[in-house]
Chains A and B, each alone.
Chain A
Amino acid sequence: MSASNTTTITSIGAPNRRNTELALLVFAVAIPVFAYANVGLAKNGSVPAGLLGYGVGLGLLATVTHLLVRKFAPYADPLMLPIATLLNGLGLVLIWRLDQEPSLGSAMAPKQLMWSTFGVVLFVLVLVLVKDHRILQRYTYISMVLALVLLVLPVFFPPVYGARIWISLPGIGSLQPGEFAKIIITVFFAGYLMVKRDALALASRRVMGLYLPRGRDLGPILVIWAVSLLILVFETDLGTSLLFFGLFVIMLYVATERTSWIVFGLLLSSAGAVAVASSEPHVKIRVQDWLHPLALQNGAVTETAQARYAFGSGGLFGSGLGQGYSRLIHGIAPKSDYILATVGEELGLAGLMAVLLLYGLLIERGIRTALAARDPFGKLLAIGLSGGFALQVFVVAGGVTGLIPLTGMTMPFMAQGGSSVIANWALVAILLRISDTARRPAPSPAPSPDAEATQVVRNQ
């Protein structure tokens, strides 16, 4: 019954929606350009000198990307690229806007523009080089090793602001390998689970009403998960551990269709959260800040409180771009972790909801891609990537707005940070690749017989 909804293949000559994408891209470029002009007018009373360059540059980048998508992934989802462009463009404007505050240190926008360009280049490379996402399946175990290496690397570098998540390369700057590990480990999970999912789901023992898989099936994946988690706890990067954990549970659940995994996962995660929260001083402070956001610390207003004040002062419609005081959030991260506070203060509740809905829409398109994908690997990879993206958005936005304790992660596309923006462009590229395969009219690459058979069985 649901089979007809799972795939967008209808008949020959289905519209590929590339023109829709182009139309949306026009808005995705125009909105940040207007925002840029708005900041300039508000801060200096004149349209910023770089407006034309910025507008033309962003437009060119979008055009080239669009043309390449037309060529290499003609059936890809039409919404993801415009949304990513819009979020990235807005992020750049917001960072430039915060650059106008001398108290927040040196200018970051030009660098971020460079990283964004690299991100788009990587996006294009992925689309051009990975002709079919199933190629990635071949690299399951290589991905595993690579992900672990990327996770371990920062241990050898000094901690920055209490978290060992950075590696600094002389001449290039610092990188957050965790952002890339996120994608690579998803590839591993998808590849591994696709092979083992039947064993995990069916060859299980019943313990206390729950189906537990055999050790030999579960073992490797649990070990990888535990190792990655340990490394993350050691690096005191709680946000990423939470992300990996959620990713792992979601993918296991989708692969095995066993609800017991959810129970199992929730138990493990709450145990882990309690253990970490009670042992790590770094995390303890965060929890205290969350419980008492407005409490003074040594008579001074905390960053957490400043962020909350920024949101509250924004109200329904905000102060207008460039007219807020989010610079008061001193500390380390007004341009990265706390960038949403600037959105909240200057664009108001309306603007913040719009931004969150953009993220929601991007996640929805990712999950739709997973539903539409015809092969289990594609399904798993797509749900892993979009589920992880959703968790990241939730953890960051929830942390900044005080829904959950704050963890050090960055808002995808918007926040300042090279690794994040590059990795997320790659993520969108993979999702586009999967959706292109999924939405392509029927006959072209013969769908895997395995996948078809599985689907029929599952959907009875």
Chain B
Amino acid sequence: MNKPLRRVAVFCGLLVLALLVRVNYVQFVQADQLSNDPHNRRVAINQYAQPRGNIIVDGKAVTGHTETNGSDFKYKRTYTDGPMWAPVTGHASQAYGTTMLEGVEDKFLTGNDDRLFFNRTIDLLTGKQRQGGNVVTTLNAKAQKAAFDGLGDKKGAVVALDPRTGAVLAMASTPSYDPSGIAGYSTTDEKNWIALDKKNDPNDPSLNRALRQTYPPGSTFKLVTAAAALETGKVTDINAKTTSPDPYTLPGTTTPLVNEGHLQCKDASLRNALRQSCNTVFGNLGANIGLKGMVDEAEKFGFNKEQTIPVRADASNFDTKMSPDQVALSSIGQFDTAATPLQMAMVASAIANNGVLMQPYEVDKLVAPNLSTISQTDPQKMSQPLSPENAQKLQSMMETVVTDGTGKNAKIPGVRVGGKTGTAQHGVNNDKAPYAWFVSYAMTDQGSPVAVAVVVEDGSANRDDISGGGLAAPIAKSVMEAVLNK
């Protein structure tokens, strides 16, 4: 009877072996995946087991924490001026996860980042509670307030950059929400969360329009077309007459392209065309530059690529396969062309920075709980869409727009301000309220300290090109003034 007994013994041995292999698989091979699974509540519990580090603007924290009782989570996030800073901070919610900087820098804020290993070990040895690191942003509190207050009840977004470095100075999006209201795990938080849902609030307040919404850029895109015209050599003298018919028939079609209002656009010089925002001139220019030239220039400005600042920004779109008439339409910001407010701020900042586009970023440095700097962002050149000479020509044209064109509302006494208005129509037969755009920069002796893009979604019934100047330009002006400290 012993032979089968031995075989049964081997069989039982195999059963135990199978179990051992299995637990090794689950607890070793799969361990990382399982322990970091978003549905694994331990992830959230650990996230909130110690006070989160703060997000800091101008030396002051815009975030905080309180202790909570009666749940798995020990600490809850709080926000100062939550709605104003929401597009920057995002939310860190015990129930609903993290977004924006709270999400991207989550590991650092919770103290779980590998770079904080040394601090953690010291805390462990000295018996101190683990602390999260702080995220110091590049934002400018005054500019942010100007942007947020300027938008007010309107629906829209503002992005301001420092053209010299790419640092984000302001990033506002309205209507906004208070992330404090959804930071916890209570029924109130749940109610607030449900109310924020796009299905329940068509205004979608939790959407960060500055980074995650693309709009047809309308006439503001003419800056890119003008840059392409200068760079490809189609136009060398911005004050010389161009050969531009008015009305202009889109190539390969019988559709005429017209200008808004009664403008003197026939054969207008580039400067004059930009000042009046002539569709015919820029449509014709775009078609002459051709698809490749337009795509190359647009992509040098950052189109067709997601930006990481380090929060992800949606890619702006300039189609890479189009017929000549579509190229013409795209060159005046219509057809499929779409841009985030960040993208248009990048366009203005590249022009203002003498043609050099700096990589936009909103995190200046990461600071450990013991206040030592763990990492510092160095400004980086992203591309050069324009030569310095051409950039200066374009600056001069943009300044004419403000002094003598559609952007007069952005004038700041004693400061060189360049800008461009835009009104993008959308909807079937343009029946929806247009988007009012304004992109601009201010120039000082030390170069340009600020470039702004403003978009206001429900620009009143006024459909002419002025609405960009009327609605958006004053907001841009106050943001620039805040940065210039006027």
Q: Which residues of A contact B (CB under 8 A)?
A: 2, 6, 250, 253-255, 257, 294, 296, 301, 305, 308-309, 311-316, 325, 328, 344, 348-349, 352-353, 356-357, 359-360, 363-364, 367, 370-371, 376, 379-380, 383, 386-387, 390-391, 393-394, 397-398, 401-403, 454-455, 458-459
Task: Check: B194 CB closer than 8 A to any chain A CB.
Answer: no
Query: What separation, in Å, do the CA atoms of A153 and B90 have in the docked complex?
Result: 60
**Chain A binding surface SS class:** helix
Distance to closest chain B CB from A327 (angstroms): 9
Query: What separation, in Å, do the CA atoms of A312 and B20 have in the docked complex?
Result: 15
Of listed A2, A309, A363, residue having the most chain B CB within 10 A = A309
Distance to closest chain A CB from B446 (angstroms): 54
Give every chain A residue within 8 A of B34 (Cβ-Cβ).
Answer: 308-309, 311-313
Closest to A197 in B: B1
Task: Check: B13 CB closer than 8 A to any chain A CB.
Answer: yes
- Interface hits, B61-100 → A, CB 8 Å: 72
Distance to closest chain A CB from B27 (angstroms): 4
Closest to B18 in A: A403
Q: Which residues of B contact A (CB under 8 A)?
A: 1-9, 11-13, 15-16, 18-20, 22-24, 26-28, 30-35, 37, 39-42, 45, 72
Distance to closest chain B CB from A395 (angstroms): 9
Is A367 a contact partner of B9 (Cβ separation < 8 A)? yes
Asked if A383 meets B22 with Cβ closer than 8 Å, knowing A309-B35, A352-B27, the reply is no
Distance to closest chain B CB from A322 (angstroms): 15
Query: What separation, in Å, do the CA atoms of A403 and B18 have in the docked complex?
Result: 8
Nearest 6 pairs between A and B by C-beta?
A312-B34, A360-B16, A349-B27, A309-B40, A390-B12, A394-B15
Give every chain B residue within 8 A of A257 (Cβ-Cβ).
Answer: 1, 3-4
Distance to closest chain B CB from A89 (angstroms): 21
Is B5 a contact partner of A370 (Cβ separation < 8 A)? yes
Is A386 a contact partner of B12 (Cβ separation < 8 A)? yes
Give every chain A residue within 8 A of B32 (Cβ-Cβ).
Answer: 312
Q: Say which residue of B13, B15, B23 sits within 8 Å of A401 (CB atoms).
A: B23
Closest to B41 in A: A328
Q: Say which residue of B3, B18, B30, B40 sits within 8 Å of A394 (CB atoms).
A: B18
A-B contact pairs, 19 of them (CB 8 A): A257-B3, A308-B26, A309-B41, A312-B26, A312-B30, A314-B27, A314-B31, A325-B42, A344-B23, A344-B27, A356-B20, A364-B9, A364-B12, A380-B1, A387-B12, A390-B16, A394-B16, A398-B19, A403-B18
Give every chain A residue within 8 A of B72 (Cβ-Cβ).
Answer: 325
Query: What separation, in Å, do the CA atoms of A275 and B19 have in the docked complex?
Result: 26
Is A296 a contact partner of B39 (Cβ separation < 8 A)? yes
Closest to A324 in B: B42
A-B contact number at CB 8 A: 142
Closest to A458 in B: B1
Distance to closest chain B CB from A194 (angstroms): 10
Query: What separation, in Å, do the CA atoms of A379 and B34 have in the docked complex?
Result: 44
Query: What separation, in Å, do the CA atoms of A296 and B41 have in the docked complex?
Result: 13
Q: Say which residue of A328, A344, A363, A371 sits within 8 Å of B12 (CB atoms).
A: A363
Give every chain B residue within 8 A of A391 (Cβ-Cβ).
Answer: 15
Asked if A379 meets B23 with Cβ closer than 8 Å, knowing A349-B28, A367-B9, the reply is no
Is B2 a contact partner of A371 (Cβ separation < 8 A)? yes
Query: What separation, in Å, do the CA atoms of A255 and B32 have in the docked complex?
Result: 47
Is A367 a contact partner of B23 (Cβ separation < 8 A)? no
Query: What separation, in Å, do the CA atoms of A155 and B4 have in the docked complex?
Result: 36
Is B31 a contact partner of A312 (Cβ separation < 8 A)? yes
Asked if A401 meets B1 with Cβ closer than 8 Å, knowing A313-B35, A390-B15, the reply is no
Query: What separation, in Å, do the CA atoms of A6 and B1 have in the docked complex?
Result: 10
Asked if A458 meets B22 with Cβ closer than 8 Å, knowing A356-B16, A359-B16, A383-B8, the reply is no
Give every chain A residue within 8 A of B3 (Cβ-Cβ).
Answer: 257, 458
Distance to closest chain A CB from B1 (angstroms): 5
Is B27 a contact partner of A394 (Cβ separation < 8 A)? no
Give every chain B residue within 8 A of A371 (Cβ-Cβ).
Answer: 2, 5-6, 9
Distance to closest chain A CB from B12 (angstroms): 4
Is B27 a contact partner of A294 (Cβ separation < 8 A)? no
Is B28 a contact partner of A316 (Cβ separation < 8 A)? yes
Is B23 a contact partner of A311 (Cβ separation < 8 A)? yes
Query: What separation, in Å, do the CA atoms of A257 and B26 have in the docked complex?
Result: 37
Give every chain A residue within 8 A of B4 (Cβ-Cβ).
Answer: 253-254, 257
Query: What separation, in Å, do the CA atoms of A360 and B16 have in the docked complex?
Result: 6
Give every chain B residue within 8 A of A455 (Cβ-Cβ).
Answer: 1-2
Distance to closest chain B CB from A365 (angstroms): 11
Give every chain B residue within 8 A of A255 (Cβ-Cβ).
Answer: 1
Q: Say which residue of A253, A313, A370, A376 sits within 8 Å of B40 (CB atoms).
A: A313
Is B37 a contact partner of A294 (Cβ separation < 8 A)? yes
Give every chain B residue within 8 A of A328 (Cβ-Cβ).
Answer: 41-42
Q: Say which residue of A2, A294, A313 sits within 8 Å of B42 (CB atoms).
A: A313
Asked if A348 meets B27 with Cβ closer than 8 Å, knowing A309-B42, A353-B20, A398-B22, the reply is yes
Closest to A402 in B: B26
Give every chain A residue within 8 A of B26 (Cβ-Cβ).
Answer: 308, 311-312, 344, 401-402
Of listed B16, B27, B32, B40, residue having the most chain A CB within 10 A = B27
Q: Say which residue of B8, B22, B24 sits within 8 Å of A250 (CB atoms).
A: B8
Of listed A305, A357, A380, A390, residue having the most chain B CB within 10 A = A390
Known: A254-B8, A311-B34, A328-B42. 18 other contacts (CB 8 A): A250-B8, A250-B11, A301-B39, A312-B26, A312-B30, A315-B28, A316-B31, A325-B72, A349-B24, A356-B23, A363-B12, A363-B16, A364-B12, A390-B12, A397-B23, A401-B19, A455-B2, A458-B1
Is B18 a contact partner of A398 (Cβ separation < 8 A)? yes
Distance to closest chain B CB from A318 (angstroms): 9
Query: What separation, in Å, do the CA atoms of A310 and B11 have in the docked complex?
Result: 29
Distance to closest chain A CB from B229 (angstroms): 55
Is B40 a contact partner of A356 (Cβ separation < 8 A)? no
